Amino acid sequence: MNSGQLRIATCQFPVCADIAANAAHIASLMEEAAREKADIVHFSECALSGYASVDFESFENFDWDLLKSKMLDLMALAGELKLWVVLGSSHRLTAPHKPHNSLYLISPEGKIADRYDKRFCTEWDLKYYTPGNHFVYFNIHGIKCSLLICFDLRFPELYRALYKEGVKVIFQSFYNARQQGPSIHSEIMRQTMQANAADNGFWVSMSNSCGWYCPYPSCFIQPDGRIIAQCPEHQEGLILNLVDLNQTFYDPAAPFRDLAIRGILTNGPGDMEDERSQNRTVL
């Protein structure tokens, strides 16, 4: 793969409380991604552990030993396949602290390169999880990448911070699944991510669980905010997409974005703004 290019496999499967079953889905999709010559494969929030309060009631009597064993198996597989992996799971903390809702970054050497902990948890999440406090950055083929999780999308300050750090690709994992039926998530989640991508010029891999009922499938978003590929609804699978930094996209904000970031909230002369301010009440 050339520098400035990155082949991403964005995956979905019906995450559940059965850690072994989740691991089998993950391994199968990793192998498929490798056959498709992906550089990195991306899974949903809590893909290995299952999601507390949705897939299981609480972490009481949770099988942490099994979770560790299956994680080690998947790390070994990543090493065999020479594949980067972004894998959602739960990270155990010392009691009485609640676990983190995490994304593990696994290297092609089969090692944990880093771990991102969901920074913004919903009020409900806070009953089960401890928020994180830092970003994760990594480079593949000269492309700077970062990780985010679900509710983080509601905080544009995170995306501005990543933009200022020179991030080009965001792997954001979600768990909006096993719902009672259609919900507002169909109307707001991917749309918000499209806006975050277009506002900052990001490529976005957006992975979601597809357990019934899932309000939207996993997708891939270009820096102009367009969804260019998506998985079938309610079906296990993956989509393969190419990031190419040599491509150009419609971005009318580009000449003025850094002005706004510096707090200059107009692209006109300051003296004209002063004059307008003095005459706001004049007909």
The domain that contains 201 carries what CATH number? 3.60.110.10
Banded model confidence at residue 2, pLDDT cuts 50, 70, 90: confident
pLDDT at 239 over 70: yes
**pLDDT-derived band at 283, boundaries 50, 70, 90:** low
Tell me: pLDDT of 21 over 50. yes
Residue 270 has pLDDT above 90, yes or no: no
- Say if residue 40's pLDDT is above 80: yes
Give mean pLDDT, residues 264-273: 74
- pTM check: above 0.75: yes
Q: Is the peptide bond before 223 cis (omega within 30 degrees of 0)?
A: no
Q: How many structural domains does the chain have?
A: 1
Residue 266 placed within a domain: no
The whole-chain average pLDDT of the chain stands at 95
Q: Are strands 100-106 and 112-117 parallel, antiparallel or unpaired?
A: antiparallel
Per-residue pLDDT, 276: 53
pLDDT digits (tens, 9 = 90+) for 135-188: 999 999 999 999 999 999 999 999 999 999 999 999 999 999 999 999 999 999
Contact 84, 109 (CB under 8 A): no
**Of 193, 205, 207, 194, nearest in space to 249 by CA:** 194
pLDDT digits (tens, 9 = 90+) for 55-101: 999 999 999 999 999 999 999 999 999 999 999 999 999 989 999 99
Tokens of 232: 């079938």
How many C-beta atoms surround the C-beta of residue 72 within 10 A?
A: 11
pLDDT over 70 (residue 281): no
Q: At what angle do helices 185-200 and 156-164 cross, to 10 degrees?
A: 30
Q: Classify residue 226: in a domain, yes or no.
A: yes
Predicted confidence (pLDDT) per residue in 171-180, tens digit: 999 999 999 9
Reply yes or no on whether the pLDDT at 45 is more than 90. yes
Can you give the residue range of the structural domain that contains 71? 5-250
Instruction: Flag whether 206 is in a domain.
Output: yes
Does residue 248 have a pLDDT over 90?
yes
Residue 86: inside a domain: yes
Domain-located, residue 181: yes
- How does 223-244 read in b/e, with b if 16+ C-beta sit within 10 Å? bebebeebbeeeeeebbbbebe
Query: What percentage of the chain carries pLDDT values higher than 70?
Result: 95
pLDDT of residue 137: 98
272 lies in some domain = no
Question: For residue 147, is it within any domain?
Answer: yes
User: Is 222 among the domain residues?
Assistant: yes
